[in-house]
Amino acid sequence: MTKIRIKAEYCKGCGLCIYYCPKGVLRASDTPNSKGYRIVEVESPGDCVGCRNCEINCPDFAITIVP
């Protein structure tokens, strides 16, 4: 099973990871990080296919995919 790690303090809530995920695994959270950005959270981890689109397209290196 693929594990998605999100570094909340790096996330600026841009949504690029959400946009590029082909399976709709990620969503915007209502919870802000310490900088006030609405971070991204994993909505359905079991649907992740490990394509790494979220990791590759994150401009802030806030997402890591662990196979």
Write down all domains in the chain, each with its CATH number in brackets.
3-66 (3.30.70.20)
The pLDDT of residue 67:
87
Tokens for 14?
A: 């841009």
The pLDDT of residue 45:
95
Average pLDDT, 10 consecutive residues per value, the chain (67 residues): 94 97 97 95 96 98 96
38's enclosing H/E stretch is strand 38-42
Burial 7-21 (b: 16+ CB within 10 A, else e): ebebbbbeebbbebb
pTM: 0.91
Sign (positive/negative) of CA torsion 17, 13, 10, 67?
A: negative
